[in-house]
Chains A and B, each alone.
Chain A
Amino acid sequence: MSLPVREETDRRIDELKGRFPHQGSALLPALYLIQEEKGYISDEAMEYVAGKIDVSPAFVAGVVSFYTLFHRGPTGRHHIQVCRTLPCALRGCQDLIAHLERRLGIKVGGTTPDGRFSLATVECLGACDTAPMLQIGDRDHGPLDARAVDALLESLR
Chain B
Amino acid sequence: MPYEPLLLRNAGKPGSETIDAYLASGGYQGLRRVLKESTPEKMVEEVKASGLRGRGGAGFATGVKWGFLPKTRDKPRYLCINADESEPGTFKDRLLIEKDPHLVLEGIILSAYAIECRTAFFYIRGEFHQGCRVFQRAVDEAYAKGFLGKNILGSGYDLDLVLYRGAGAYICGEETALLESLEGKRGLPRIKPPFPAIVGLYGCPTIINNVETLANVTLIAERGAAWYATIGRPPKNTGPKLYCLSGHVKRPGVYEAPLGVPLMELIEERAGGLLRPDRPLKAVVPGGSSMRILPASKCDVLMDFDSLVAAGSMLGSAAVIVMDAGTCMVWALLSLARFYAHESCGQCTPCREGTGWFVKILERLEAGQGRPEDVDLLTDVANKVEGNTICPFGEAIAWPVQSYVKTFREEYEEHVRRKGCPLAATATVS
* Residues of A near any B CB (own CB < 8 A): 19-22, 24-29, 31-32, 53, 55, 62-63, 66-70, 84-87, 89-92, 94-95, 122-131, 135, 138-140
Contact = CB atoms under 8 A, between A and B. Distances in A.
A128 to B, nearest CB: 4
8 contacts: A22-B183, A26-B184, A53-B184, A69-B168, A86-B247, A89-B332, A91-B247, A124-B170
A88 to B, nearest CB: 9
Contacts of A55: 184
Given A55-B184, A129-B253, 10 more contacts: A22-B183, A25-B164, A62-B186, A67-B168, A69-B126, A70-B168, A85-B339, A86-B335, A125-B127, A140-B130
Interface string B206-225: 00000000000000000000
Given A22-B202, A66-B186, A90-B321, A129 B429 contact: no
A123 B119 contact: no
Interface size class of B (residues with CB under 8 A): 35 or more
A33 to B, nearest CB: 11
A86 B336 contact: yes
Given A22-B202, A129-B254, A87 B321 contact: yes
A-B interface, 4 closest residue pairs, ranked by CB to CB distance from nearest: A67-B167, A68-B168, A138-B129, A27-B184
Contacts of A66: 169, 186-187, 345
Contacts of B94: 126-127
Contacts of B323: 90
Interface string B279-319: 00000000001000000000000000000000000000001
B178 to A, nearest CB: 12
A124 B247 CA distance: 13
B327 interface: yes
A124 B86 contact: yes
A27 to B, nearest CB: 4
Contact of B182 (A25, A70, A86, A123): A25
A85 B88 contact: yes
Contacts of B167: 28, 31-32, 67-70
A89 B335 contact: yes
A32 B126 CA distance: 10
Contacts of B253: 129
